[in-house]
């Protein structure tokens, strides 16, 4: 991923000014070949019984309120419980907010973790890092996204990349820190392919995947020949690791641009109107539909960002005051879109026989304050929140952990981000003890705070 740093300015949730950055390009390099994958399997990194496991991560950028969504406290005082009522789900004894009738219908497929917490700074970026990689970044060291680790260990199955991010990488959220959606210490060649387009747009196309209609193949070939001339002229550079990385990146770009199967995978117009309508004719819904198409056609892992930034759009970031939304505003805009999209995805995967081999972690970076603020919203609260899982062999209709009577702190089975990552890796068949080529070595820490062993939850 090439990032060009510019002088743009943004304002954070707490009023601080941070630098913005411009993203340019999104092509990663080639994943492992089958021979390398076989070596990793032989070394015990991969469970051969789960070689076809895939993942669709939904990241709720902005952080949903646990009290108004999936861990309601109807008996708490009004300033705690909020305006919504709980409804029964298809799983006996499990209730969620009335804002999610579609999810309630799928209650037997979903398992909730209601005791997630972290002790880092209560800013969006730190939660993004920990929930997608299992670690908080420190000392300039960035850990890889779970989808990038999967791509590194298993390579790709087709002309498509092993890991794709939709619709874009996370943008500014106030901390000016990395968000954890890249390959980190694994190297840029294992970065995800980033769509950088809105699949709900009428003129949707993939800017970094397909040549422009006015770019003939002869021009593409000319650029390739020119690059070969340059490489031949600079022998010393060609022998370096940087040149090999450039070659790999170019070959993947060329392979994608000329692949009919890759173009077909992104061709949402092939889907019946009824299916597109079922997911919702909005960016999030169409990203979920595209995620299903990509996994169906050979992408191993897709990350879908519900939103891209907490600035200038209505998100889960419900501080209440302008430019943010209120708790009530969540019911009008965010919740219906989310409920429609995820319900359609669960229906679609189940009907196609894909749910059992596709794990769906639905994450957020922290929770929300138990007490409603004077603006009618809730503020950042990493002390406890709820995430949930479906598919991938995870039995639905269960709850791990519990928060206290006001949804403020864990009172049963506190869960760390490392355990969330471990659960995803386990569902994908990745050995948590496998040694990676980096300073942190294992996919997740062995122990938390030097005492508790990190294992999967389900």
pLDDT in tens, 157-201: 989 999 999 999 999 999 989 999 999 999 999 999 999 999 999
Contact present, 324 and 383 (Cβ < 8 Å): no
**Taking residues 326-355, what's their average pLDDT?**
96
Residue 10 is assigned to a structural domain of this protein: no
Tell me: do 332 and 308 sit in the same domain. Answer: yes
Give the pLDDT score at 80.
Answer: 98
Tell me: do 163 and 243 sit in the same domain. Answer: no
Tell me: do 86 and 185 sit in the same domain. Answer: yes
Tell me: do 332 and 437 sit in the same domain. Answer: yes
Q: Where among 193, 227, 259 does a domain terminate?
A: 259
Residue 322 is assigned to a structural domain of this protein: yes
Tell me: do 433 and 354 sit in the same domain. Answer: yes
Tell me: do 422 and 283 sit in the same domain. Answer: yes
Per the prediction, the chain carries an average pLDDT of: 85
Ranges 38-52, 227-241, 262-276, most confident: 262-276
Give the DSSP H or E segment for 342: helix 335-351
Residue 12 is assigned to a structural domain of this protein: no
Give the pLDDT score at 302.
Answer: 98
Ranges 26-40, 46-60, 104-118, 316-330, most confident: 104-118
Tell me: do 102 and 225 sit in the same domain. Answer: no
Residue 420 is assigned to a structural domain of this protein: yes
User: What is the rounded CA–CA span in Å between residue 3 and residue 21?
Assistant: 7
Tell me: do 289 and 345 sit in the same domain. Answer: yes
Name which of 259, 255, 349, 319 is nearest 122 in CA terms.
319
Tell me: do 193 and 303 sit in the same domain. Answer: yes
Give the pLDDT score at 22.
Answer: 26
Q: Considering the chain, what percentage of its residues have pLDDT values greater than 70? A: 77
Residue 5 is assigned to a structural domain of this protein: no
Confidence of residue 111 (pLDDT cuts 50, 70, 90): very high
**Taking residues 298-312, what's their average pLDDT?**
96
Tell me: do 348 and 402 sit in the same domain. Answer: yes
Q: Is the pLDDT of residue 273 over 80?
A: yes
Give the pLDDT score at 29.
Answer: 34
User: What is the rounded CA–CA span in Å between residue 202 and residue 221?
Assistant: 30
Q: Where among 259, 293, 324 does a domain terminate?
A: 259
Give the pLDDT score at 457.
Answer: 84
Q: Is the pLDDT of residue 446 over 90?
A: no
Give the DSSP H or E segment for 22: strand 17-23
Residue 384 is assigned to a structural domain of this protein: yes
Tell me: do 197 and 223 sit in the same domain. Answer: no
Residue 284 is assigned to a structural domain of this protein: yes
**CATH number reported for the structural domain that contains residue 149 in this entry:** 3.40.720.10
Give Cα separations from 404 to 70, 114, 347, 385, 413 (angstroms): 14, 10, 33, 11, 12
pLDDT tens string 18-74: 333 222 233 333 344 444 444 455 455 667 666 689 999 999 999 999 999 999 999
Give the pLDDT score at 33.
Answer: 43
Residue 2 is assigned to a structural domain of this protein: no
Give the pLDDT score at 153.
Answer: 95
**Taking residues 141-156, what's their average pLDDT?**
95
Confidence of residue 7 (pLDDT cuts 50, 70, 90): very low
Confidence of residue 323 (pLDDT cuts 50, 70, 90): confident
Tell me: do 353 and 393 sit in the same domain. Answer: yes
**Taking residues 291-306, what's their average pLDDT?**
98
**Taking residues 374-388, what's their average pLDDT?**
97
The whole domain housing 96 covers: 26-209+266-453
Q: Where among 223, 238, 259 does a domain terminate?
A: 259
Name which of 210, 198, 166, 191 is nearest 2 in CA terms.
191
Q: How many domains does the chain have?
A: 2
Q: Considering the chain, what percentage of its residues have pLDDT values greater than 90? A: 69
Q: Is the pLDDT of residue 233 over 90?
A: no
Q: Is the pLDDT of residue 349 over 80?
A: yes
């Amino acid at each position: 991923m090439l990032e060009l740093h510019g002088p743009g300015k943004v304002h954070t949730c707490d009023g601080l000014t941070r630098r913005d950055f411009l993203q340019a390009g999104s092509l990663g390099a080639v994943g492992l070949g089958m021979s390398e994958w076989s070596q990793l399997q032989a070394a015990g990194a991969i469970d051969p019984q789960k070689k076809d496991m895939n993942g669709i991560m939904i990241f709720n950028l902005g952080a949903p309120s646990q009290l108004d969504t999936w861990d309601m406290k109807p008996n708490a005082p009004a300033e705690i419980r909020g305006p919504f009522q709980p409804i029964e789900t298809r799983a006996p004894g499990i209730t969620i907010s009335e804002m999610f009738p579609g999810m309630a219908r799928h209650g037997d497929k979903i398992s909730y973790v209601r005791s997630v917490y972290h002790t880092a700074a209560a800013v969006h970026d730190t939660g993004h890092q920990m929930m997608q990689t299992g670690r908080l970044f420190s000392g300039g060291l960035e850990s890889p996204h779970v989808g990038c680790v999967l791509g590194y260990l298993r390579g790709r199955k087709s002309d498509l990349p092993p890991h794709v991010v939709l619709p874009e990488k996370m943008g500014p959220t106030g901390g000016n820190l990395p968000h954890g959606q890249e390959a980190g210490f694994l190297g840029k060649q294992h970065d995800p392919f980033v769509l950088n387009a809105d699949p709900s747009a009428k003129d949707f196309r993939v800017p970094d995947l397909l040549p422009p209609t006015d770019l003939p193949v002869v021009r593409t070939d000319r650029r390739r020949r020119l690059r070969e001339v340059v490489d031949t002229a600079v022998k010393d550079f060609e022998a370096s690791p940087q040149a090999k990385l450039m070659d790999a990146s170019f070959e993947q770009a060329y392979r994608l641009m000329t692949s009919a199967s890759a173009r077909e995978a992104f061709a949402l117009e092939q889907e019946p109107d009824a299916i597109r309508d079922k997911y919702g004719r909005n960016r999030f819904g169409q990203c979920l539909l595209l995620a299903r198409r990509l996994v169906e056609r050979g992408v191993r892992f897709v990350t879908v960002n519900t939103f891209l930034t907490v600035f200038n759009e209505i998100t889960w970031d419900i501080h209440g005051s302008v430019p943010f939304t209120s708790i009530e505003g969540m019911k009008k805009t965010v919740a219906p879109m989310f409920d429609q999209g995820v319900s359609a995805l669960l229906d679609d995967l189940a009907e196609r026989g894909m749910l059992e081999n596709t794990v769906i972690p639905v994450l957020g970076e922290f929770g929300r304050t138990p007490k409603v603020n004077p603006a009618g919203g809730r503020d950042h609260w990493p002390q406890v929140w709820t995430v949930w899982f479906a598919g991938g062999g995870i039995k639905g209709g269960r709850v791990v952990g519990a928060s206290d009577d006001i949804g403020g702190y864990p009172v049963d089975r506190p869960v760390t981000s490392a355990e969330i990552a471990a659960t995803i890796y386990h569902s994908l068949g990745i050995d948590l003890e496998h040694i990676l080529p980096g300073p942190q070595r294992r996919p997740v820490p062995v122990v938390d705070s030097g005492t508790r062993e990190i294992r999967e939850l389900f």
